[in-house]
């Protein structure tokens, strides 16, 4: 029997924020970036939350973050990300996305996250969600440190090419596969499958979805997985290289934990009832 899969973008599709931009404040509190960088990151997050990020913004973000990460120790980053993952990301997961992943899993489809964020962030998120495979950005590493060069950038047409490679390896029929994203920059990803869906789409993707008759979903309930009756299935298939966004996120939170280690974490509020609202473009 031919197998099929559901491919998910990450930011604003599975989680409620940009995983690369979410950690400006703790990064500043740890003394790793200056106030100007914090303000720029906060503004970028605000713009991203309203309208998404176009190609120019994505390229600018990529260049800034790779420059910032250059020289950082890879093993330290891996350890930090694993230690802080649930504090950072767990509360950001859309309940609707978790439900949709479960629906695809129940239908016998494999789950693949395809994200331009860093591999060492996306891979643990994938494990937390119980997905089968992750495709994510990877940076070049030499002598245990980031060089500032990108080995693979999971963006635009690269996402679609990786999906085709995964499909060939795993025996997926892409015509019988699903894909979900919020950004017009992911049109190659969405058009690669037979069942594309726009999730929280930016203006460009909303227009493209209307023109093509694609369904549109609105996800607006980030609820911690720990508050849900949710259990991951199996470890994911991952690569060993390190990516961009997780380095920023991990070191930022490590600095914050060192600075604020004597403070007790506030308990998370009880989540509201879960729901998913479907509407047209």
> CA 231, CA 97: separation in Å to the nearest integer?
14
Helix (H) or strand (E) holding 33: none
CB 172 within 8 A of CB 114: no
Whole-angstrom distance, CA of residue 98 vs CA of residue 233: 13
Distance CA(23)–CA(42), nearest Å, equals 9
CB 239 within 8 A of CB 52: no
> What pLDDT was estimated at residue 26?
46
Return the closest-CA partner of residue 186 out of 210, 212, 213, 158: 158
Task: Write down the domain spans for the chain.
Answer: 5-260
Residues belonging to the chain: 281
In the residue annotation, 9 being an active-site residue is answered as yes
The neighbour count for residue 182, using CB atoms within 10 Å, is: 24
pLDDT at 89: 75
Q: How many CB atoms lie within 10 A of CB 127?
A: 17
Residue 176 designated active-site: no
Q: Whose CA is closest to 244, among 167, 152, 156?
A: 152
Per-residue pLDDT of the chain (281 residues; tens, 9 = 90+): 458 999 999 989 999 987 666 555 545 544 445 565 555 555 454 444 444 455 665 566 666 666 667 676 677 777 767 766 777 778 889 999 999 999 999 999 999 999 988 887 788 888 988 999 999 999 899 998 878 888 999 999 999 999 999 999 999 999 999 999 999 999 999 999 999 999 999 999 999 999 999 999 999 999 887 776 554 554 455 433 333 343 333 333 344 444 444 344 444 444 444 344 444 44
Q: According to the model, what pLDDT value does residue 37 have?
A: 54
> Which residue in 9, 132, 182, 202 is the catalytic one?
9
The architecture that CATH gives domain 5-260 is 3-Layer(aba) Sandwich (3.40)
144-171 as b/e, with b when 16 or more CB fall inside 10 Å?
ebbeeebebbbbbebbbebbeebbeeee
Sheet holding 216-218, edge to edge: 145-152, 133-142, 110-118, 5-8, 178-181, 195-199, 216-218, 277-279
- CA–CA–CA angle 10, 13, 19 (5° rounding): 45
Q: Long-range contacts for 60-65 (Cβ within 8 Å, ≥24 apart)?
A: 61/20, 61/21, 62/116, 62/150, 62/153, 62/155, 62/244, 65/20, 65/244, 65/245, 65/247, 65/248
Beta carbons within 10 angstroms of residue 277's beta carbon: 10
CA 235 to CA 6: how far, in whole Å?
Answer: 17
Mention every residue, 6+ apart, whose C-beta is less than 8 A from residue 202.
51, 52, 182, 183, 184
Helix (H, G, I), strand (E, B) or coil at 101: helix
CA distance 261 to 255: 10
The pLDDT of residue 87 = 78
């Amino acid at each position: 029997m031919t197998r099929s899969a559901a491919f998910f973008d990450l930011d604003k599709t599975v989680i409620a924020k940009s995983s690369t931009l979410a950690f400006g404040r703790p990064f500043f509190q740890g003394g790793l970036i200056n106030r100007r960088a914090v303000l720029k990151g906060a503004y970028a997050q605000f713009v991203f939350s309203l309208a998404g990020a176009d190609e120019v913004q994505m390229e600018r973000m990529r260049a800034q973050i790779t420059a910032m990460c250059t020289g950082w120790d890879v093993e330290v980053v891996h350890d930090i990300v694993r230690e802080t993952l649930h504090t950072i990301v767990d509360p950001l997961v859309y309940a609707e996305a978790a439900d949709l992943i479960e629906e695809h899993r129940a239908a016998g489809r494999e789950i693949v996250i395809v994200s331009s964020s860093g591999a060492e962030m996306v891979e643990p998120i994938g494990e937390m969600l119980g997905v089968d495979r992750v495709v994510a950005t990877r940076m070049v590493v030499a002598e245990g440190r980031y060089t500032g060069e990108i080995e693979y950038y999971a963006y635009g047409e690269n996402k679609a090419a990786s999906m085709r490679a995964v499909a060939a390896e795993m025996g997926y029929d892409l015509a019988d596969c699903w894909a979900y994203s919020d950004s017009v920059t992911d049109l190659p990803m969405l058009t690669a499958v037979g069942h594309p869906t726009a999730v929280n789409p930016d203006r460009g993707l909303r227009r493209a979805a209307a023109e093509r008759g694609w369904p549109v979903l609105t996800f607006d309930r980030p609820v911690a997985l720990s508050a849900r009756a949710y259990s991951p299935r199996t470890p994911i298939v991952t690569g060993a290289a390190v990516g961009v966004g997780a380095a920023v996120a991990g070191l930022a939170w490590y600095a914050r934990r060192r600075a604020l280690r004597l403070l007790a974490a506030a308990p998370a509020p009880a989540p509201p009832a879960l729901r998913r609202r479907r509407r047209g473009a």
